[in-house]
Amino acid sequence: MSMFCYQCQEAAGCKGCTVRGVCGKTEDLARKQDLLIYTLKVVSLYNLKATSLNIVNKEIDKFVMDSLFATITNANFDEDIFSTRISKGLELKEELKKQISAAGENADLDEKPNAVGVLSTENEDIRSLRELLTYGIKGMAAYMKHATNLNYDDENIHAFMQKALAATLDDTLGADELVALALECGKYGVDAMALLDKANTSTYGNPEITKVNIGVRNNPGILISGHDLKDIEELLKQTEGTGVDVYTHSEMLAANYYPAFKKYSHFAGNYGNAWWKQNEEFESFNGPILMTTNCIVPPKASYVDRMYTTGITGYPGVKHIEDGEPKDFSAIIEHAKKCQSPTEIEKGEIIGGFAHNQVIALADKVVEAVKTGAIKKFYVMAGCDGRAKSRNYYTEFAEKLPKDAVILTAGCAKYKYNKLNLGDIGGIPRVLDAGQCNDSYSLVVIALKLKEVFGLSDINELPIAYNIAWYEQKAVIVLLALLHLGVKNIHLGPTLPAFLSPNVAKVLVDNFGIGGITNVDDDIKMFENL
| Least distance from ligand SF3 to the Cβ atom of residue 87, Å | 28
- CA distances (Å), 232 to each of 41, 92, 329, 372, in order? 33, 32, 11, 42
Which residue's CB is nearer to ligand SF3, number 7 or number 121?
7
Question: How far apart are the C-alpha atoms of 412 and 273, rounded to whole Å?
Answer: 8
Residue 507 near ligand SF4 by CB under 6 A: no
Residue of 237, 265, 218, 249 whose CA lies nearest to 330: 237
| Least distance from ligand SF4 to the Cβ atom of residue 20, Å | 8
Span interacting with ligand SF3, options 322-330, 455-463, 467-475, 486-494, rule CB under 6 A: 467-475
Residue 7 near ligand SF4 by CB under 6 A: yes
Which parts of 363-402 interact with ligand SF3 (CB under 6 A)?
384
Residue of 336, 358, 324, 348 whose CA lies nearest to 418: 348
* Given 89, 186, 221, 411, the residue binding ligand SF3 (CB under 6 A): 411
Q: Mark 276-295 with x for binding to ligand SF3 (rule: CB under 6 A) and - for no binding.
A: ------------------xx
* Given 21, 411, 435, 493, the residue binding ligand SF4 (CB under 6 A): 21
* Given 23, 157, 443, 480, the residue binding ligand SF4 (CB under 6 A): 23
- Name the amino acid, one letter, at 347: K
DSSP run (H or E) holding 409: strand 405-409
Exposure on the CB side of residue 248, measured as CA atoms within 13 A: 31
Instruction: With beta carbons less than 8 A apart as the criterion, state whether 114 and 120 touch.
Output: yes
Q: Which one of ligand SF3, ligand SF4, none is in contact with 382 (Cβ closer than 5 to 8 A by kind)?
A: none
* Given 44, 73, 250, 286, the residue binding ligand SF4 (CB under 6 A): 73
Residue 36 near ligand SF3 by CB under 6 A: no
Classify residue 273 by burial, with Cβ atoms within 10 Å: 0-12, 13-18, 19+. buried
Residue 448 near ligand SF4 by CB under 6 A: no
Helices (H), 71-118: 79-102
Question: How far apart are the C-alpha atoms of 472 and 11, rounded to whole Å?
Answer: 10
Q: Which one of ligand SF3, ligand SF4, none is in contact with 286 (Cβ closer than 5 to 8 A by kind)?
A: none
Residue 22 near ligand SF4 by CB under 6 A: yes
* Given 258, 303, 354, 471, the residue binding ligand SF3 (CB under 6 A): 471
Which residue's CB is nearer to ligand SF3, number 9 or number 238?
9
* Given 1, 13, 19, 25, the residue binding ligand SF4 (CB under 6 A): 25
Residue of 455, 428, 461, 434 whose CA lies nearest to 446: 434
Q: Give the chain's end-to-end CA distance (angstroms, integer).
A: 43
Helices (H) and strands (E) in the chain, counts: 17, 15
| Least distance from ligand SF3 to the Cβ atom of residue 271, Å | 15
Kindly list the residues in this chain that would bind ligand SF4 in the complex (CB under 6 A): 5-8, 10-11, 17, 21-23, 25, 73
